Every structure is written in C-alpha cells, then in structure tokens.
Chains A and B, each alone.
Chain A
Amino acid sequence: MSAHEDDPILDVRDLRVWYGTGGDPVRAVDGVSFQIGRGETLGLVGESGCGKSTLGRGVLGLLPDAAAVTGSVRFDGRELVGAPAAEVRDLRGPELGLIFQEPMTRLDPLQTIEAHFREALNTHRPELGKEEVRRRSLEALAGMGIPRTRFGQYPHEFSGGMRQRIMIALALVLEPKVLVADEPTTALDVIVEAQILGILADLRRNFDTAILLVTHNLGIVAEACNRVAVMYAGEIVEEGDARELFAEPAHPYTRELLRATISLETTGLNYIPGAPPSLIDPPPACRFHPRCPSAMRVCADLHPIEVRAPAGQRVSCWLHGPEGQIPAGGREPLERREFAEAEEA
C-alpha cells in the first residue's frame, strides 16, 4: 500500500476492543487496521465516543480488565496482543509513549516533577547514575521550555500548558519510537496548542519518532499529519494521505466532517444530523447509513467493503463499489422512513 521503503514501525490489523458491561459488550474498536512508518504522523479523527481513545490505549496495552482484545498489534515486528503483561509494560515508556488529553490531572499531585522523572528513568534505565538522571531530565525539560529552577516544584505550581509540556518531556526523556498523543491540545488554549504541535513536528523531524495523533480537530490533522484515518463508530471508514484526503474526501462522513469544520471562509454552520451511534448496538450494515445524506438501499443491508478511492485512499463505502457486490436495485436512494423504523427496532 503506502510507498514506504521500510517496514512500518507499528502495524495494527483487525484490532477489536470490546468492553464488558454485564450486559451487551461495548464495541469500542471493531476491526481496525492501519500502519505507521518511522518518522510518520498518522492523524486519527472522529467524533467523541467513536473509539479513538480506546484505540490509542489499545496500542499500548493500557486497557482495563474488562476489555477483551483480539487482532494484532505489531511493534517493530513484535506482537503485543496476547504478549505477557510484563513484556508489554517494559515496552511502555522506552518504545511506546503516550501523552494524554487533560494534563491537569496526569501528574501525581504529591510528587515533585523531579520525582516523576526519577521514577521513569529508574524504571527503564536503572544503569544511569543520579547525576545522569538529573542531566537527562533537565535536558528534556529544557527542550520543552521548562526552566531548571522549577525542577523541584509540585504539579499544582504549573499551568495547564506547562503541565502538558512536562508530560511530553516525561514521555520523551525515554526516547520512544512511537508516541500516541491522545487529544494532546484539546484542553489547552490556541497559543499553547501551536507550541505543542511545533514540539511534535520537531520530534518527528529530529528523532524519527512515529506519532499517532488522536484528535477531533481536523485543522490539527491538516497541519501536523502525513496521513489521516477517519474513525466512525469503532471502525476506520477512510484512510489515506492527508492532503489528498482533505482535497477529495471519498467517504460521505469525511465530507460532512470537513463541511462542519469552521474556518475563515465559513459562511454558515454545517452539522451532521443525528448523533454518533451506540457502540453497544451499532446500526447494522454501514454504521453511518442512518445519518448519511447519500445513503443507498445497499447501505442498510450489507456492510461496505474496503476499496481504493480515486484519490488513492482506502475507503469503506458502497458509493465507491465494488459494483459487482451491490445487489440489484441497491443503488436506489434509501428512504428516510425505512431507516427510521429500522432504528426503532
């Protein structure tokens, strides 16, 4: 598929993560595949509650006990799904890093910044001496613009933006090859957001770090990502080169998502009618069909098949065929009433 000379550093295939609730399971991630090459940034976009964050954590094996995982996550050729917990844990930090959405609560309020760094480095680099630990920590913090005088302070003495930079420094001091950034700027203001995105871009350039950037903000993806995957109700519906995909979206959901984005040229507000579906009981066949303006009869009957769209991205939508699989009359537009009833059932 994508023209990368190396093997992808992260190769996720048919990953499913279901949560047990006592009743029917929540299918947070349901058959997702993607790859990220070294030094590449993949943007993962979608509405809230579509399974983005679960996917990000699933890659690191950071899921609650009630989550069942199948499929495959290969990091640098090593299979993580089903690997012993201790083995995956040793990879977290030095190989796979994670930065979170809300920086305010991610640092232990009772420990100094120094203690956080010491813990991380002592865990993964026990051979480093005290001075070396300190030197590396201060260097990572300096890279994020945190002055060394604040090394001994407590989390509550920092602002949200500074805390997020500390969190990033804490991830980077271990020099991970893959960084999962779960909405890293959502809780921050625009100026800090730009700083953080700049930091991520540097990282990619200077350290060849692969980044999975989870966000609901398409503007960030356009700015920071090589490729983008659009997620809807636990599935990736479209994936491809960021520029091409934005120029020529193939999936109606991507199209509507782009239309709903507010920019300077926006004259009126667009939104996608309806709400993201329940992940416990998602709509049958194409999960987007109840909200899709281009829905056809086949969309309510059969799950779409992944194909390559004209612009080169992969897409799961009957609009793009394959023609041979659509039953006769399947291209007739779907009548609204029909699916209104289907939803009720």
Chain B
Amino acid sequence: MKESSGSSGLRTYVLTRLALALPTVLILLTVVFLLMRVAPGDPITAALGARLPAKELEKRKEEAGYDKPIISQYGEYLGQVVTLDLGESVTDNRSVTSILAENGSATLELTVAAFMITLLVGVPLGLMAGRYRDGPWDVGGRLYGIIIYAFPVFFLGFLFQLLASQFGWPTSGRASPLVEYDLDSITNFYVIDTLLQGDWSAFWDVLQHLFLPAFVLGLTISGVLIRLIRVNLLQTMRGDYVEAARARGVSERRVVINHAFRNAMVPVVTVAGLQFAILLGGAVLTEETFNWPGIGSELVRYLNQRDYIAVQGIVTVFAVAVVIVSLLIDLVNAFIDPRVRYR
C-alpha cells in the first residue's frame, strides 16, 4: 500500500517535471534562433560570400530557405529540432548529427571523466571542511576551493602541460596517431572501444591522453563543489533532527553520516545540475587547450568560419543537453528525497 502511493507520487512528479522542461527548451531554442538571426547577413553569404559568385549564393539561399519570412524559418527550425535533423554545415557539408556522433562522444568522455575527478576531490574535502569547522581541514578546504576556482582551465592546463612535457606525457588529442588509426570506432568512446578490442596498450594510451584534460577540468569544478558541500553541511549540522539524534545518544560519526551528510546532499545534487552547464563551458576551453576533438572545439572552428548553420546546430545540442541533465538531476533528487514526490 505504501509502495503504490509512493510510486504513483513519483510518476506524477516525473510527468509534471517533464511538462515543465518543455517551455524551457522552447525558450532556449528561441533564444538560439534569434541570436543567430541578429547576425548581419544570411548564413550562406556569411560563410561563403567571398568564395562563390552572386548567382550561386542566391541559389543556395533559396535551397536553404533563407529568402522566406522569419516566422516560417523559425517554424522550420523547430521542425528540424523535433525530427532531430539539424541540417548540414555550410562550409564542409557535414550533418550536425554526424558532428554530434563523432565529436560529441569525445566531449562526453571528457566531461564524464572530469566529473568523476570532481566528485573524488570535492566530496571528501567538502565533508571534512564542513565537519570540522574552522579546523585545518576547513581552512585548507576553503582556501583550496577559492584558489582552484580562480584558475582558468586553460592556465591550469598550461601548467600541467609544462610539467607533462618534462616526462613525455601526452598533452594533445585523444590518442596517439597510430592507436587512433588502428581503432575501430564502435561506440566512439575510446576508453570503451579499446577495452572492447582487448588492446591493453591502446587502452593505456587512451587513458593517458584522457587523464590530463579530465583532471584539469575536474579540478577547476571541484572548488565549487567543496564550497557547496561545506555550506550545506554546516547548515544541516545544526538541523533540529541532528540535535534530536544526538539527544538519543547516537554517536557523532553516525549523526554526521546518516543525517547531516545525507540531508546536505539534497541541495548539492540540485546545484550539481547547474554545474553541468559550467562543466560544458569548461569543456569547450579544455578541448581548445588540449586539442581534444570534441564538440566544443568544433563549435569554435565553425564560429571562426562563420558557419551559422553548424553553430546553430551545436548550440542547440548544448541547450537541449543542459535541460535533459537538469531533468535527470531532479529525478535523482526525487529518489533521494521522499518529500519531492509529494509536492
């Protein structure tokens, strides 16, 4: 009986949350669309104007529908998003979907690895800082949080590259050229692909290449996580239920782990969803720093070439990814926190 009421509450919650995500996606898409139209001239001329004769430009514009009124262009754009077909880049005729498949996997591999580093560093340090307020862990953790936050990814990357060049550790790309040449792209995640092939030396090579960018990106985000966990833990540590547990003689260790920490994690998980957007932004910079062939460095390349279609497609993907992640985070929260399901 309890089970059924719980899961139906959860189902309602999921549905409402999904319904709420739709307007956010729509607004983001509109913002992206409008931003791209604010740009002077049409996408075809911007990208190819200098290279093609006027007649050819007109023809291409007509093909792409840039002579139509803005409203119908907007409708077409939304249609494209719904059908998951975001068009083709103007400069090199790659479909946005294939850009996503080839470069998106590199970005995902990087961000997932970076996020693991963030958790590994941030959670224990944040816990110790919040637990032993004003002690050495707290002071050290806070200072680390503030200083690491002040490091731009690319500067930290620069420093690690200086260091790595002393040891011959790779600082560029996803794998050594030979390894990459031999690799069958099954999932496009190199770590998984090399494992599937059972090629251990290739796997080690890929891990080596992944480590520095992921480590640098992960470290820069970890500062925020430490501060977040610390503040929330400080607040839950003085929670009424924490005092009540102490009044029942529960050991301090158990009070901290079972009550204070678990409750502190609820807002942390929520904010971690917002961090994902920052992680994506950081990924763009990290990819540029380490020549990581991700979707971020593709975006910068297409921006430089004024290829609006490709830019629009990639930015759209980023926007949708952010909304999907925040949706997932909320669902995770609903599992952790029984109150959410009933709201």
Write the residues of chain A forming the contact surface with B, with a CB cutoff of 8 angstroms: 60, 62, 89-94, 97-98, 100, 102, 105-111, 119-120, 123-124, 149, 152-154, 156-157, 167, 170-171, 174
Contacts and interface: CB of A to CB of B under 8 A. Distances in A.
B337 A108 contact: no
Contacts of A152: 2
Of B243, B244, B259, B266, most A-chain CB atoms within 10 Å = B244
Given A105-B239, A107-B241, A119-B254, A170 B246 contact: no
A105 B249 CA distance: 18
Nearest to B259: A108
A110 B333 CA distance: 11
Contact of B338 (A60, A93, A109): A109
B262 interface: yes
Contacts of A120: 248, 250
A109 B248 contact: no
A301 B150 CA distance: 61
Nearest to B241: A108
A119 B250 CA distance: 8
Contacts of A157: 342
B221 to A, nearest CB: 26
Given A98-B247, A157-B342, A167-B244, 20 more contacts: A92-B248, A93-B248, A94-B249, A107-B241, A108-B259, A110-B336, A110-B337, A110-B338, A119-B250, A119-B254, A120-B250, A123-B248, A123-B250, A124-B249, A149-B1, A153-B2, A156-B338, A156-B339, A156-B342, A174-B248
Contacts of A98: 244, 247
Contacts of B339: 109, 154, 156
A107 B2 contact: no
A93 B244 CA distance: 10
A60 B2 contact: no
B248 A108 contact: no
Contact of A119 (B243, B247, B258): B258
B56 interface: no
A62 B266 CA distance: 27
Given A105-B240, A108-B263, A89 B336 contact: no
Nearest to A151: B2
Contacts of A92: 246-249
A110 B262 contact: yes
B247 A62 contact: yes
B143 to A, nearest CB: 23
B253 to A, nearest CB: 11
A170 to B, nearest CB: 7
Nearest to A102: B240
A92 B249 CA distance: 5
A273 B239 CA distance: 35
B135 to A, nearest CB: 12
A144 to B, nearest CB: 16
Nearest to A109: B339
A90 B248 CA distance: 9
A171 B259 CA distance: 18
A155 to B, nearest CB: 8
Most chain B C-beta atoms within 10 Å of own C-beta, residue among A91, A93, A108, A156 = A108
A156 B340 CA distance: 10
B251 interface: yes
A106 B342 CA distance: 19
A91 B339 CA distance: 33
B244 A107 contact: yes
19 contacts: A90-B249, A92-B249, A102-B240, A105-B239, A108-B245, A108-B258, A108-B262, A109-B241, A109-B338, A110-B266, A110-B336, A119-B250, A120-B248, A123-B248, A123-B250, A124-B249, A149-B2, A156-B342, A170-B248
Given A119-B254, A153-B2, A154-B338, A109 B247 contact: no
A173 to B, nearest CB: 10
B254 to A, nearest CB: 7
Q: Which of B246, B251, B336, B337 has the most CB of A within 10 A?
A: B246
Contact of B249 (A93, A106, A111, A154): A93
Contacts of B1: 149
Most buried by B among A94, A97, A107, A111: A111
B3 to A, nearest CB: 9
Contacts of B239: 105
The 7 A-B pairs with the shortest beta carbon distances in the complex, nearest first, are A93-B249, A92-B249, A105-B240, A98-B247, A154-B338, A108-B241, A106-B244
Contacts of B245: 108, 119
A208 B264 CA distance: 40
Nearest to A65: B133
Nearest to A167: B244
B249 A110 contact: no
Given A109-B263, A156-B342, A123 B241 contact: no
B249 A91 contact: yes
Contacts of B337: 109-110
Interface in B141-185: none
A106 B242 CA distance: 8
A60 B247 contact: yes
Contacts of A119: 245, 248, 250, 254, 258
A203 B339 CA distance: 33
A342 B126 CA distance: 51
A59 to B, nearest CB: 11
Nearest to B343: A156
